[in-house]
Amino acid sequence: MTKSNSKTPETILIVDDSTETLELLKRNIDSYNKGYRIYTSTNVSEAIRKLKTIPIDIVITDLQMPEINGMQLVKFIRDNHKDTEVLVITGFPSVETAVESIKSGADEYLIKPFTNEELFIALQKVSNKLYDHRLLQTHNNIQGNVFGIIGESESMLRVFNVIEKISSTNATVLITGESGTGKELVARAIHYRSNRSALPFIAVNCAALPDELLESELFGHIKGAYTGANETRAGFFQIADKGTIFLDEISNTSPSMQAKLLRVLQEKEFYMVGDKKPIKVDVRVITATNVDLMHLVKKENFREDLFYRLNVVNIHIPPLRDRDNDLMLLINHFVNRYTKEIGKSNIPAFSNKTINALKKYCWPGNVRELQSLIYNLVIMSENNKIETSDLPNAMRFSIKNSPNTNKSLMEIEQEHILNVLTSVNNNKSEAAKILGIDRKTLRDKLKNFSAKTEKLK
């Protein structure tokens, strides 16, 4: 029987040889108003019969029971009902008992007597684990896939809402967010939801080209405009006519280029390099940046008039660490995608400890870093099981959102860069993409770190 991916309601089976305890637990759980469907059993044999006939999501079981004890029930569930989560409760606590129950497969351990709040917290943890595993087991219907973007968190729903509202307009859009959050995906979503969708979508990385070459690429050039210009060539704005042009890393443009872009936005025209005849164009402009443009405006490093022309509509994409359960949706999506691409017969499973480690990690490279990691894990996974030992050190030992405020800015930057390098197996090109810098800048920073470390010796 297929279970849904929704967090609630879940079916709960409570197992305890005390009818009074069963009634008390049932009444307390009902008081949470979460819509749980609750079944009870006074012994393990009866519980096993119900597990065979009813799709149970969570089992709450006592350990000390006559004939067959709760530990044996835990082992039975792990061997036969891998999708069922287990919360163990006991009035006879010991370190040995706790260790044995967790090793046997219990997901949480609660000692009697416990408060109603403690029960609720433990049950919520188990429910969250259930939800996480359900997401990772969804092979075909990826939830939260809107405009080709994976996400169902409140912050991403706000992004989807803005995309829906502005797609049919011609308003210029400035997409902001950290490196790796998916700004180009949002730009493409806007284009393909618009009435320009049948016409070109042209993406240009403004940081990847020197200023002179960028001008030629954007506006084209006539034959003889400069050495090597052996023929007249159309630029991206001409190619994108009636469609959309996406200018990524707009903050890297020079004052001269900013003036030319302002003219395109104001006058709907531009000059090819070497030509004196203006060319009219109808192009929707979408730009993106991972820096604070207003800060650059205040420092006079970016034109204020251009900023306001670009920022008619602003869409801020939240970092992955602020996207609630989207992490699990994205892991599910990438695991299924790469398992299929690589041609593996079985989709690898993630241990609870691995999921916890991924949740605690702060994801400085956001979705791009996650994508690279999952690709690597799927390739390297053995026995269809991914453990914490398979993760980079930065992920195994990271603490989410808890920076050491006693460290200098250089130390924090160095730690961050080295963590990203570790996460991509020292692939400097991939690390540079995640960090939002070019490979030369990364190489210079690493040399600088090395030199400063040498001085301290």
pLDDT at 140: 40
CA pair distance 87, 108, nearest whole angstrom: 5
User: pLDDT band at residue 401, thresholds of 50, 70 and 90?
Assistant: very low
Q: What is the pTM of this model?
A: 0.64
Written as one letter, the residue type at 183 is K
What CATH topology corresponds to 11-136?
A: Rossmann fold (3.40.50)
pLDDT at 440: 80
User: pLDDT band at residue 409, thresholds of 50, 70 and 90?
Assistant: low
CA pair distance 435, 426, nearest whole angstrom: 13
Residues paired with 289 in a beta bridge: 176
What is the residue extent of each domain of the chain? 11-136, 154-316, 322-398, 403-457
Torsional sign, CA 190, 191, 195, 197: negative
CA pair distance 162, 147, nearest whole angstrom: 12
pLDDT over 60 at 136, yes or no: no
Q: Is 154-316 a domain of CATH 3.40.50.10700? A: no
DSSP-assigned letter for residue 114: -
Say which residues have a Cβ less than 8 Å from residue 219's Cβ, sequence separation at least 6. 235, 237, 260, 270, 271, 272, 273
Of all helices (H) and strands (E), which one includes residue 50? helix 44-53
Fold matches, 11-136 and 154-316: yes
Q: CB-hemisphere CA count at 13 Å for 146?
A: 16
Q: Could you tell me how far CA 63 lies from the centroid of its own chain?
A: 39
Q: What is the percentage of the chain residues whose pLDDT exceeds 90? A: 42
User: pLDDT band at residue 105, thresholds of 50, 70 and 90?
Assistant: low
For 213-235, the pLDDT digits (tens) are 899 999 988 888 887 778 888 88
Domain 322-398: which CATH number of 3.30.1230.10, 3.40.605.10, 3.40.1050.10, 1.10.8.60: 1.10.8.60
CA pair distance 41, 59, nearest whole angstrom: 10
What CATH topology corresponds to 403-457?
A: Arc Repressor Mutant, subunit A (1.10.10)
User: pLDDT band at residue 457, thresholds of 50, 70 and 90?
Assistant: very low
Q: Evaluate whether 424 touches 385 at the Cβ level (below 8 Å).
A: no
Most confident of 138-142, 328-332, 349-353: 328-332
User: pLDDT band at residue 60, thresholds of 50, 70 and 90?
Assistant: very high
Q: Would you put residue 19 in left (φ > 0), alpha (ψ -120 to 50) or beta? A: alpha
